[in-house]
Structure formats: C-alpha cells, structure tokens
C-alpha cells in the first residue's frame, strides 16, 4: 500500500539523519588521530559512538565487537569497557537463559549525555561552517537541534532484561500508514524489549471480524489487538478486551498526557479497556493556494464549504470540488454520523453538556437512536448537494480513495483523517505538498465546530494466557509511550495521542498538523460523541451507509432514507431492563 511505501522511504531518510552526528564525530576522531602524531585514540569515545550506533541501527553489540571498535589493544579496551560499566554508561542484557552471553546497550545515562552533546556539536558546527544540516529540515531526528530544545522526548529505552515470552509478542493491527510505520520500526522495538514482534494487519472490517473470532477461541492468538474507538463498548460488553486495571497499574501510563477525547473514548462503564495508540481526527484538508486564487476564505460553515466546492469544481479541467467517504456501508456510514454532528446532533439522544454531549453513562444502555430528525434531514440534503461538486466516482470512494486524488491535485478539498496526510505531506511531487490547510468540520447554523476523533487504541484480549500477560502489558506500555509516539511521527506517521509528543519541537517541525490538532484539543473541538462507542454502533453505521447510499443514488428520497435508517437502527437497540 502507499502508506507502507512512504513509511519505508521516510524511515531510511530518518536513519541517515540519525547517524549524521555520530559519523561526523567518528570521522573527526580518525582525522585527528591520523594527522597529529601525538594524538592518542580515545577508547571511551570510540566505544560510546559504536554503542550508540548499534542502538539506533537496532544492531546487536557484543563485548567483542565493542572492544574491536575501541582502536586500542584488547587488555586496554577491556579495562575501558569495565570503567564505562562501573560509571553506569553501559547496560548488559542476557542473550541466553544461562546468562553466559550478553548484549551491550547504552544506558539511560549515556543516552541523556548524548542528547546534550549532539545538540552542542550541531550548534558549534552551524556556527562555524553552516551546520551539518538545516535546522528547519522537518526530518531532523535525534541528533543535533533535535534534542537541544527543552522538553524533547528521548529515544526508546532499552530493557535491562529481555522479555521472556514464548514466540515473542504477537500483535493484531489495522493496515494503515501508522501501523505500517510500526512494522518498519520493528527491529528498534525488538531491541528495546529484547524479543521478537510479529504483526498481522487487516482492513477495518476484517480487523473487527478477526478480533471477534479471536475472542471465541479458547486462548487468544494475539497478545495485543488494535481496536477502532467506536468498538470499545461492544468489545467491553462481549468480553473481547480485559480492563486495563486487571493487567497493570493504569496510573503508570500518565493518563493526563493523552488527548482528553482519545483517552475518554477508550472507557466503558468508567473503566479503561485500551490505550490510545493513534488520535487521528477527521479534518477538512483544503488547498490554500487554490482558495487564495479564487478569493475564498477557508470554509468554517457548511454553506461556505458548499460555496467553495462549487467555485473550485472545474471538471472540464480535471479538478473536482471535494472528496469524502461515500462508498456504500461502513465508509458512508461514518460520514453520515459525522455530518449529523456538523449540524449539532449526535446519532443517539445523548444529554447535552458544555462543549458537546455527555457520553459518561453509555454503559447504562439508556439511549435511543436519533436519525429521523430535522438535523438528520439537513445532513441528508447537505450530502446530496455535496454530491454535485464531487468526482464522478464519489459513490465508491472510501478512506484512501478520497485522499489519493487530493494528493494528486485532482480534488481541491477533502475530508480525511490525519493519518492519511503522509500521502501528500511526504510527497514533494504532490500539488498539495506544503499547500494544505487543516480545519475542523465546517458546521451548520448554530452548531459548534467539531473535529470527530478517530484512530485506534491497543488493548489486551480477555482470553490471553495468564503467563503471557506481564509481557503483553509491558509491550503495550512501550508501544503507546511518548518515546514510541515520537518515533512513529519522525518516521512518517501523522497521528499522535499525547500532549507531550505534540509539544516536542521535533514533532512540531515534522508537520503543521500536530500544532493544529493540539489547538483543537485545547479548544474542546476534538470530540468522540459523533461516533459514540455503544455496542450497536457498528450496525448503526452499516445501516446509515446503506440507506444514505440508496438516497445518493436516487433510489429513495431523503425523508424515506431517514425513516428506513431509523426503523432499522431502532431494531438493534435492546431496551434497558425495567427495575
């Protein structure tokens, strides 16, 4: 898939940036030693550089290889290595159960010292020679200016003892660009936890089916599974996931660091069932250059959006006004729920509260579907009009199909999740490269701006074998840590679940998305109530995606589509038992 392709190329570029300062120092040492006869080899420095290179390249460093890199006789190098161990600069990790063989890794102390040194080296080089690389380069990574600024997140830590789990850690994920980045970085994660990681990826509907099949097995095939946020209620009710508190101390995750909407969306009945791995709101992507040329402001309302789409829609030139999820079933169903939210109404009769609607008591099951309403009719008519300014194949467009033509310059605006932004943010040949603005959904009269939250969380299956639980909990904590989230971003991901990561200077330089989304979160525009995670939500989404598709095809009118969708969705809701 294209996301996978982007991830590979970016990862290779980032690795080159990561090793720039290390290579510079190593070459400088060699030149000084070769040029000045009395200059002696600094074994400590050479061994530290070798150790750091091994860490960032996910390559195993042994005592033998470290001694070989020292540039001094064996006995001297052995003493220097022991000095570094005594100083707490080197961590040893057993490679075998007999503990007779060890791999060597930079300690947190050495990594911290390297972060400080690399920043000073780059500033000195830039001051004297123009630098080792542009400080504005969005691909700056660990080295140079990357960790010079305050509050920078350090590299992945190395576990002192490898995780002991038969067959390694097994993960079930969605086949999107962020999880493909995780696959590309597998060696780094394997080095961090000391065991193999195997990952299976599925499309959204197949992922849900596999997770439900897995729950029916006597023992889970996976240690960790990815969960689309709207599935949380269903997976909690059906026992697919175990509560996080049964696996580890939830406070250790630093819940306050997660975007509020993303963290709340992983809860059911007051208990957390998963950890946000991607917080990816659906936004309006728009071409700043095209709007400016047409004399248009970025559209904040549905009326302004229709006007912009109408103005920019020039099919005779191969340019269409807007792309969106309109494929039958799940894809269009998501659009229907989000469009109703744009007109100020959730798909369920949720109580209204300041900043949105209350979702805290969904587990009480005291709710009903609200589709056949005035706001529902406004949403239906809006989508029918939007159809006029869309590509001719819009009714088969879904998650990727709406963003690819936007990246190719064939569509002026598109609704899209931030996780799909690499299609144009990482492709310098794209007409949308460097020309894309990001907005929450334009809203109807009287409604409040909303950026409907999406993305995936990682949870632990309820039927996981007990002996595997400690390893699964530790791997889950690592995969959702600030260090991991930053690593994903620097290798091409455009999703992030944590405030600390959004504040990191490297992440801010990587894409304007992170600052934009962070601002939306602080303004309470990130919301998950447009797709409330009740057990029936998958069925409701499917129904809306079928009935509204028939409406868009002209088979039925908007009022009939609303009535039929309401009746079918009502039949899914099991009334709460009377007490």
| CA-to-CA separations, 20 to 122, 140, 285, 403, in angstroms, rounded | 10, 10, 34, 34
Pairing mode of beta strands 102-106, 90-94: antiparallel
| CA-to-CA separations, 111 to 9, 87, 147, 181, in angstroms, rounded | 26, 13, 11, 23
Distance between CA 502 and CA 152 in Å, rounded? Answer: 10
pLDDT at 138 over 50: no
Distance between CA 277 and CA 178 in Å, rounded? Answer: 9
Element (H, E) at 224: strand 224-228
Side-chain-facing half-sphere of 420: CA atoms under 13 Å: 23
pLDDT at 8 over 70: no
Which residue, among 336, 318, 314, has the nearest Cα to 327 in the 3D structure?
Answer: 336
Rg (the chain; Cα; Å) = 26
Q: Are 434 and 252 in contact (CB under 8 A)?
A: no
265: which 2 tokens?
Answer: 């969306």
pLDDT digits (tens, 9 = 90+) for 528-561: 999 999 999 999 999 999 999 999 999 999 999 9
Lookup result for tokens 């009535």: 563
Which residue, among 407, 386, 362, 387, has the nearest Cα to 576 in the 3D structure?
Answer: 362
Looking at residues 316-336, what average pLDDT do you find?
Answer: 96
Which 3 state secondary structure label does DSSP give 461?
strand
Which 3 state secondary structure label does DSSP give 458?
strand
Which pTM was predicted?
Answer: 0.74
Distance between CA 168 and CA 217 in Å, rounded? Answer: 20
Q: Is the dihedral of CA 180, 53, 496, 278 positive or negative?
A: positive
Report long-range pairs for 425-429 (Cβ below 8 Å, ≥24 apart): 425/494, 425/511, 425/513, 426/6, 426/9, 426/10, 426/492, 427/6
Q: Are 517 and 496 in contact (CB under 8 A)?
A: yes
Q: What is residue 124's predicted lDDT score, i.e. its pLDDT?
A: 65
Looking at residues 499-504, what average pLDDT do you find?
Answer: 89
Say which range, 112-121, 384-393, 416-425, has the weakest mean pLDDT: 112-121
pLDDT band at 135; cut points 50, 70, 90: very low
Q: Are 362 and 533 in contact (CB under 8 A)?
A: yes
Q: What is residue 134's predicted lDDT score, i.e. its pLDDT?
A: 41
Looking at residues 231-244, what average pLDDT do you find?
Answer: 96
Lookup result for tokens 């007490």: 579
| Maximum alpha-carbon separation in the chain | 91
Label each residue of 471-518 as H, E or C.
Answer: HHHHHHHHHCCHHHHHHHHHCCCCCCCEHHHHHCHHHHHHCHHHHHHH
pLDDT band at 374; cut points 50, 70, 90: very high
Q: Report the length, in residues, of the chain.
A: 579
Q: Are 93 and 107 in contact (CB under 8 A)?
A: no
Q: Are 144 and 176 in contact (CB under 8 A)?
A: no
Residues 6 or more apart in contact with residue 521 via CB below 8 angstroms: 259, 260, 261, 499
Find the Cα–Cα–Cα–Cα dihedral 456, 346, 513, 9, rounded to 10°.
40
- Work out the number of other CB atoms within 10 angstroms of the CB of residue 537: 24
pLDDT at 85 over 70: yes
Distance between CA 243 and CA 232 in Å, rounded? Answer: 11
DSSP state of 99: S
Which residue, among 481, 480, 447, 456, has the nearest Cα to 533 in the 3D structure?
Answer: 456
Q: What is residue 44's predicted lDDT score, i.e. its pLDDT?
A: 84
Which residue, among 240, 285, 578, has the nearest Cα to 418 in the 3D structure?
Answer: 285
| CA-to-CA separations, 152 to 149, 181, 248, 254, 453, in angstroms, rounded | 6, 21, 27, 17, 26
18: which 2 tokens?
Answer: 């990561």
Q: What is residue 168's predicted lDDT score, i.e. its pLDDT?
A: 94
pLDDT band at 331; cut points 50, 70, 90: very high
DSSP state of 421: T
Mean pLDDT, the chain, as a whole number? 86
- Listing DSSP states for 228-240 in one string gives EGGGHHHHHHTTS
Dihedral class, residue 456 (left if φ above 0, else alpha if ψ from -120 to 50, else beta): beta
Residues 6 or more apart in contact with residue 479 via CB below 8 angstroms: 171, 182, 189, 224, 277, 458
Find the Cα–Cα–Cα–Cα dihedral 528, 231, 201, 244, rounded to 10°.
90
Say which range, 59-63, 204-208, 404-408, 458-462, has the weakest mean pLDDT: 59-63
pLDDT at 166 over 50: yes
| CA-to-CA separations, 537 to 5, 331, 415, 571, in angstroms, rounded | 33, 13, 21, 13
């Amino acid at each position: 898939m294209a996301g996978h392709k982007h991830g590979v190329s970016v990862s290779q570029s980032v690795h080159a940036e990561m090793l720039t300062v290390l290579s510079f120092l190593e070459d400088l040492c060699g030149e000084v030693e070769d040029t000045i006869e009395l200059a002696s080899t600094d074994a400590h420095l050479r061994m530290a550089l070798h150790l750091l290179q091994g860490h960032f390249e996910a390559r195993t460093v042994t005592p033998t290889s470290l001694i070989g890199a020292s540039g001094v006789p064996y006995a001297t190098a052995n003493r220097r290595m022991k000095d570094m161990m005594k100083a707490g600069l080197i961590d040893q990790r057993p490679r075998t159960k007999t503990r007779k063989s060890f791999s060597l890794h930079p300690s947190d102390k050495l990594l911290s010292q390297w972060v400080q040194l690399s920043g000073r080296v780059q500033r000195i080089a830039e001051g004297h020679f123009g630098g080792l690389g542009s400080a504005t380069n969005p691909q700056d990574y660990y080295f140079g200016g990357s960790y010079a600024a305050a509050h920078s997140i350090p590299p992945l830590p190395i576990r002192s003892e490898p995780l002991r789990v038969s067959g390694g850690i097994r993960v079930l994920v969605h086949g999107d660009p962020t999880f493909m980045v995780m696959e590309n970085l597998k060696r780094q994660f394997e080095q961090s936890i000391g065991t193999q990681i195997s990952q299976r990826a599925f499309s959204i509907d197949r992922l849900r089916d596999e997770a439900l099949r897995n729950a029916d097995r006597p023992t889970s095939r996976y240690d960790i599974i990815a969960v689309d946020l709207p599935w949380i209620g269903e997976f909690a009710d059906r026992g697919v996931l175990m509560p996080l508190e049964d696996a580890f101390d939830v406070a250790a995750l630093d819940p306050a660091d997660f975007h509020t909407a993303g963290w709340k969306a992983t809860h059911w009945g007051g208990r957390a069932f998963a950890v946000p791995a991607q917080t990816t709101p659906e936004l309006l992507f728009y071409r700043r250059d095209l709007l400016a040329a047409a004399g248009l402001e970025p559209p904040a309302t549905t009326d302004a959006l229709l006007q912009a789409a109408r103005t920019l829609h020039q099919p005779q030139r191969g340019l269409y006004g807007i792309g969106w999820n309109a494929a039958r079933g799940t894809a269009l169903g998501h659009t229907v729920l989000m469009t109703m939210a744009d007109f100020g109404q959730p798909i369920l009769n949720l109580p209204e509260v300041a900043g949105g609607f209350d979702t805290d008591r969904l587990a009480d099951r005291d709710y009903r579907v609200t589709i056949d309403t005035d706001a529902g009719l406004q949403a239906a008519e809006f989508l029918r009009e939007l159809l006029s300014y869309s590509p001719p194949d819009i009714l088969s467009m879904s998650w990727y199909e709406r963003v690819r033509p936007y990246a190719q310059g064939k569509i002026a605006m598109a609704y899209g999740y931030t996780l799909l932004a690499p299609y144009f943010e990482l492709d310098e040949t794209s007409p949308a490269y460097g020309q894309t603005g990001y907005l929450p959904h334009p809203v109807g009269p009287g409604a409040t701006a909303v950026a409907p939250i999406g993305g995936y969380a990682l949870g632990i299956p309820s039927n996981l074998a007990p002996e595997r639980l400690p390893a699964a909990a530790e791997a889950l904590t690592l995969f959702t840590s600030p260090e991991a989230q930053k690593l994903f971003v620097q290798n091409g991901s455009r999703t992030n679940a944590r405030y600390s990561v959004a504040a990191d200077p490297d992440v801010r330089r990587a894409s304007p998305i992170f600052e934009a989304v962070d601002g939306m979160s602080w303004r309470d525009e990130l919301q998950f109530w447009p797709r409330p995670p009740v057990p029936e939500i998958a069925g409701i989404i499917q129904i809306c995606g079928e009935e509204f598709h028939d409406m868009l095809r002209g088979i039925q009118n908007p009022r009939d589509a609303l009535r039929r969708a309401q009746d079918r969705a009502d039949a899914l809701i099991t009334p709460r038992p009377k007490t």
